[in-house]
Structure formats: structure tokens, C-alpha cells
Chain A
């Protein structure tokens, strides 16, 4: 039953994703991509559980490595997206950035 339940969520989120993203203008495609990329770092939740649950030594180390990579993705992704979006302005403010 759980498989069906999870697949249901999958189906709905994919449709939602298509609806949301198709409205993003071309100007914002790079920040969209890096912002979405940061969201894909959500794997960090699984990584945290694997690293902290003390189930087996191997799982702890694999989880730890996974936390490392996922955190790079999350922190780096959000920060770089913010840096880019801060540059999008309406009127030229003069003076090179």
C-alpha cells in the first residue's frame, strides 16, 4: 500500500512542477536551475538519518559522506542563486558592479 501512496505523491508533484516551472521567463532560467538544484539537495534528510541513526558503522560513514555532498548542494545552491538574483534590477543604477 505504501508504494501506491508514494507513487500518488510522485504523480501529483510532477504535474505541479510542470505547472510552476513553465511560467518562469527565460531571463530567470539560470537562477531557476541553481535554485531547483538547491532543492534537490533535499536528499540531505535521508543522509542525516543514515548518518545519525547508529544502525551500522558502514551506514554511518556512507551517510556522513552523503551529508557532506548534500550540504554542499544545499548551501552552495541557495547562496549562488541569491547572489545571482540580487543582480536582477529594474532600472540601471549606474556604476559597474
Chain B
């Protein structure tokens, strides 16, 4: 059965509608799962009609690659732990980038071997698809390395970094121009361009570290969409452009939300190398440790308890015991909720997913702007593995690298418990004056064990 181009494009319209509808339904937790299904149906439809189109004549390579990709993708999606979601998404992003790069490359062969000489417009779109795809692929690999802590999570900055980056950009523009002037398959400019794209991706991500990772992962998400967009221009496919730009827009919006949540501009995040510049005012004072027995007595008397989770909760795998403690507190008559900072964890919404996994109802998850006015009337705040997002230095210390960042004002609550392994500084290496406040009590030890101890006290 060979479908005409009109029919294929008509089916593409339906696919595009399903993507739009799917994204719209992702706007509410009740409809989100169905929305994702609609979007998947749209994708399946697009793939099927493309396979039936008369331009495809041989299927061996396709069958093999599809089988391989399905097995890898399905296994990865099945086996990944919810705590490792950020690095998984980074890898999927990179995979999409690599696909766009290869489509652009393959389109080059078709164009140059084709009957008429390729137009400059087509060449530029092919170059863009290779460039954005390459940056996404190699950048995502670095992001994966950082998120999974297979390489240093800190920002890597060196003298002359900007000069090197500028030279890379000049090199990319230069080799693109040279290639457009004389587009041949053996052109060395093509290889220069390909190599520089991959290097640029690496260089773009290494100076970003620490708490800035949610920005990077959102931005790479956006790039993977833009890469698909560019590939759509290169091969003249409407659906690639529509779907790619939807994803591109989504990534940009998330990036913007993340930047706002850290009170920093995108340029600042991308180029400054977090925390490298100013030295914060040294915080000194005495911390007041507390043992689980005493913490239990305070919690038992509390009318309202707010949990503030951070990446440390994910590391300690404490989300299930936290949910259990929350339920026990509710049974004890307290009002329990979870305050979630937009950049808590290492990707947007990371904490929400972990708590959802632990069966916490999404109605109990409160955003930063909604919880802050309620905190002065909250009896106990329990900070679990969060640091920067509750650091009052962001309000008080103008020299702090995080000064100006909106935070959850946990120090306004009557009592704050901070669960912490030891007295080191957080992921971004910033000192936290919260630990020395009058109403702060430190509960040292592994977060999961500390919470379990509290749960045991409630049960006995």
C-alpha cells in the first residue's frame, strides 16, 4: 500500500493535533496520563503513515534499527529509578540530538547526490540541524556525567575559556560559510563543522555546575526540540517543525522558570561558572543538635508540619519513610504538607515525582509562593536534604553567590529541624546561616534513618 504525499500530510495534521491536545492535557494531574497517551498515538500514526509512503522502498535497516532502539528505550524506561530521572532525561535528550544530527547528515547526501544543486537555504538548515543536534548530543552526555556524578559536579572553569569558546564559534561560522560555498561530500569543512559542534556542546555544559543543573537540563530539552525543527526545515517536513518548536518552546519556558527561581539571568547561568566569583560572608556560630527522641516530642505536640525536601532526600531514598511520617503526623491531628522549591532536586519537578512515587497526594504539594505566607504560623518545618533553597543568606547576605534568589523562608517557622549527614556545605558549596539560627535544631545522620527513628517513636 503506497500512500500519496497528500494523504501522508493529512495524517500529519492529525498527529500535530494529537501532540497539541496531549500537551494541553499535561496541564492537570488528572488528565496528564491520557494526554501522554494521545501524544504517543499521534507519534505512532505519524510513523506508520511515513512507513507506508511510497518514498520508502527498503525496510531491512529500518526494522533492525527500530528493534534495537525499542529494546534499549523500553529497558531504560522500565529500569530507571525515580531518583535517577534527571540523568535519564539527559540521555534521552542526547539521543534526540544525535538523531537530528544524523538526519541532517543523511539529508546532505541526498541533496548533493540529487539531480539539482542544493540551494543555500537547504544547506543552512542542514548545517543548523547538524550543529544543534551535535551540541545537544555532546552537551547531554556531559550533563549525564555530571548528574550521575560520573564526573565532577562542580563548574569547570579555566583561564581563557571565553576566548576558546569565541574561537569555536568563529570556527563554526567560518567552516559553515566555506562549506556552503563549495558543498561536496568529501569537503574537509564538513568534518571541521561536525567536530566543532560536538566540542561546543561539551564547552557549553562544563562551566555549569552545582545547583544550576536544572537550568541546563531544561535548556538541552529545548535544544533537542530546536534540532528536530532544523531537521524539519532540512527535509521539508511540516510535522517535524511543529513538534520540534512545541518542544523548543516548552524547554525555553522551563529554563526561564528555573532562572527566575534562582534570580539569575540565563546568560549569568551559562557563562559565569556558579559560585566562582564572590566569597560569601563567613557564617559562624554554634549549631544546636537534637536527638530523635526530643524531635519526636516536639513533632507530637505540633499542629502544623511542613516538609521541605531537597536532593538529599533522593540520595537517601527517604521519600517512602517521609510519607509514612507524614501520615502518622496527620493521624496525630497535625496539618501536613510538602513545600517544594522550583529548583529543588536536579531537574524541574524532580521532588514532586519522588513524592508521587511514595504515594503522597499531589494536593499536599505546595509551591514556594503559596507556602511562604503560611510559614510564620507553622509549628515545625522539617528540612530533608535541602540546603540552598532554604538558605536565608539569599535574603540577608549581599555577598552570597545566591543573594536575591527566592527561597522558602523556613526560618520564619516556629521550629526548624534540619536533617543533615554532617556539617558540610550543600551541592553548590554555599554556607548556610540557617543552621545557626535560634529556632533551628540539627538532626544529624542519614535522612532515612533519622526519619525511620521518628516513625518508630510514633508507632511505639
Measured in the bound complex, the distance between the Cα atoms of B69 and A64 in whole Å is 10
Residues of A contacting B58 with CB < 8 Å? 52, 54, 60
Is B92 touching A94 in the complex (CB atoms < 8 A)?
no
Tell me the nearest residue of chain A to B104, going by C-beta: A46
B176 → chain A closest CB, angstroms: 17
B289 CB within 8 Å of chain A: no
Is B109 touching A35 in the complex (CB atoms < 8 A)?
no
Tell me the nearest residue of chain A to B251, going by C-beta: A36
B201 → chain A closest CB, angstroms: 15
Is B93 touching A79 in the complex (CB atoms < 8 A)?
no
Measured in the bound complex, the distance between the Cα atoms of B227 and A94 in whole Å is 43
Residues of B contacting A39 with CB < 8 Å? 19, 22-23, 39, 43, 225, 243, 246-247
Binding site secondary structure of chain A: helix
Given the contacts A36-B250, A59-B109, A76 and B73 also touching, CB distance less than 8 Å: yes
B306 CB within 8 Å of chain A: no
Q: Which of A33-66 contact B (CB under 8 A)?
A: 33-56, 58-66
Given the contacts A10-B229, A39-B39, A30 and B29 also touching, CB distance less than 8 Å: no
Measured in the bound complex, the distance between the Cα atoms of B65 and A69 in whole Å is 8
Is B32 touching A31 in the complex (CB atoms < 8 A)?
yes
B40 CB within 8 Å of chain A: yes
* Total interface residues in chain A, CB < 8 Å: 87
Q: Which of B85-116 contact A (CB under 8 A)?
A: 85, 88-89, 92-93, 95-96, 98-100, 102-103, 105-107, 109-110, 113
Q: Which of B245-269 contact A (CB under 8 A)?
A: 245-254, 257
Is A69 touching B109 in the complex (CB atoms < 8 A)?
no
Is B55 touching A49 in the complex (CB atoms < 8 A)?
yes
Given the contacts A69-B95, A89-B356, A32 and B327 also touching, CB distance less than 8 Å: no
Measured in the bound complex, the distance between the Cα atoms of B77 and A56 in whole Å is 34
Measured in the bound complex, the distance between the Cα atoms of B357 and A64 in whole Å is 36
Is B65 touching A67 in the complex (CB atoms < 8 A)?
yes
Residues of A contacting B348 with CB < 8 Å? 26, 29-30, 32-33
Residues of B contacting A90 with CB < 8 Å? 29-30, 361-363
Tell me the nearest residue of chain B to A30, going by C-beta: B349
B307 CB within 8 Å of chain A: no
B402 → chain A closest CB, angstroms: 20
Residues of B contacting A40 with CB < 8 Å? 93, 96, 221, 224-225, 227-228, 243-244, 247
Residues of B contacting A70 with CB < 8 Å? 69, 95-96, 99
Residues of B contacting A61 with CB < 8 Å? 61
B10 CB within 8 Å of chain A: no
Is A32 touching B362 in the complex (CB atoms < 8 A)?
no
Is B29 touching A55 in the complex (CB atoms < 8 A)?
no
Q: Which of A13, A58, A64 has the most CB of B within 10 A?
A: A13
Residue from the list B33, B69, B356 in contact with A75, Cβ < 8 A: B69
Is B110 touching A56 in the complex (CB atoms < 8 A)?
yes
Residues of A contacting B327 with CB < 8 Å? 92
A-binding segment of B142-150, B231-239, B373-381, B382-390? B231-239
Is A37 touching B102 in the complex (CB atoms < 8 A)?
no
Residue from the list A28, A43, A51, A56 in contact with B227, Cβ < 8 A: A43
Residue from the list B73, B241, B362, B365 in contact with A73, Cβ < 8 A: B73
Give me the interface of B with A, judged by CB distance under 8 Å.
19-20, 22-24, 26-30, 32-33, 35-37, 39-40, 43, 46-47, 50-51, 53, 55-59, 61-62, 64-66, 68-70, 72-74, 76-78, 80, 82, 85, 88-89, 92-93, 95-96, 98-100, 102-103, 105-107, 109-110, 113, 121, 217-218, 221, 224-225, 227-229, 231-254, 257, 320, 323-324, 327, 340, 342, 347-350, 352-353, 356-363, 365, 367
Given A42-B244, A73-B73: 6 more A-B contacts, CB < 8 Å: A13-B246, A20-B246, A50-B103, A67-B61, A76-B73, A84-B353
Q: List 18 A-B contacts (CB under 8 A).
A: A6-B233, A20-B23, A23-B27, A26-B257, A26-B348, A35-B39, A40-B244, A42-B46, A46-B234, A50-B110, A52-B56, A53-B110, A64-B65, A67-B69, A70-B95, A76-B74, A78-B77, A96-B320
- Which 6 A-B pairs rank lowest in CB-CB distance, beginning with the nearest? A71-B69, A17-B249, A29-B349, A76-B73, A75-B73, A66-B102
